[in-house]
Amino acid sequence: MKIMDRYQAGINLGGWISQYREYNFEHFDTFIQRKDIEQIAAWGFDHIRLPFDYPLFEDDALPYQYKIDGFKYIDNCLNWCKEFGLNLVLDLHRAPGYSFDSLENNTLFEDQKQQDRLIKLWEAIAGYYVNERDNLLFELLNEIVEPDSTRWNLLSKKLVAAIRAIDKERYIIIGGNNYNAVSELENLDILEDDRIIYNFHFYEPMVFTHQKAHWFEMTRLLDMEQNYPGKCVGIKEFCEKYPQFESIMEMDNVTMDKSLLESYLQPAIDFLNKTGKPLYCGEYGVIDHAPAQDRINWHKDLISILKELKIGRACWSYKLMNFAIVDRNSQVVSEELVKVISDK
């Protein structure tokens, strides 16, 4: 069995031990429980992608002193996954000196001490989970944003070497620059290591998947319903009013449909043809502001393409986080959407 055969249809557990509102054990103990993993398995998924933030393991005031409580939550998820026949991707969402959602504060790529902390953190995790096998993958760092891929290529090689010194067999996931953009796959260095999986995220076109998203100035100001399939509307008038967003003029009156998604995914196809390396789509999804049926339509088209290409995937996200599959009480938002995204 090839490794990606075990990671075809997954779902993210965003908002649990990553992107939480505050570091709070009551939240960690209740947001995701055994019953949630049981539900995900019953739907037919084969894996979970588990984002986690480094403060779960290490305080900035006490670097290199790792907290056993942090491992407890991952242990719980891993054991539940084993119980219900699921595999697990362990995704570092926030690292010492780096977070995709606070770029102005990042120091990782300038600060050797922060890089050393990141390397040591992965060494600690690798040592702790050394006896787990292909049911557990390590994803080095979520959504790099750098001027180019040079510094990330260098750092990712150091991280792989550190893990390999402890565990020569662990499958490791490396994503590209610009928020794991599919277009950045070509700029990743391909390692001479048969147990590396390459990763991209897919939220194209953003004017549809992130419509009315409050955390992006462009989508907040555009504030217009977009349909899928359908023509992208209101872009010319919007750019005339807000010329700072003229880069989205290319979407004016564009038909958003499966052929458009295929065009966006061409870099993934090129990567597969050029390298033959395993490829994974670690995040994809549509904001819950979008019309419910349009949301389903987009997922159907994207997943049909990814399945044809044999690219494994994990939907963003299980609970809340603006892309919900279930509500805060873990009740399903759309049975049809669940059926679409769990299809292997």
Pairwise CA distance, residues 23 & 129, whole Å:
24
335 is catalytic: no
**Residue from 58, 139, 143, 204 carrying the catalytic annotation:** 143
Which of 238, 201, 197, 247 is CA-nearest to residue 220? 238
Pairwise CA distance, residues 51 & 19, whole Å:
9
Cα 105 to its chain centre, rounded Å, is 21
3-class secondary-structure state, position 76 = helix
Pairwise CA distance, residues 211 & 259, whole Å:
20
Place of tokens 């984002």: 51
283 is catalytic: yes
The two tokens of residue 161 are 């070497």
Side chain identity at 239, as an amino acid letter?
A: C
- Read off φ and ψ for residue 284, nearest 5 degrees: -160, 155
Residues known to be catalytic = 143, 283
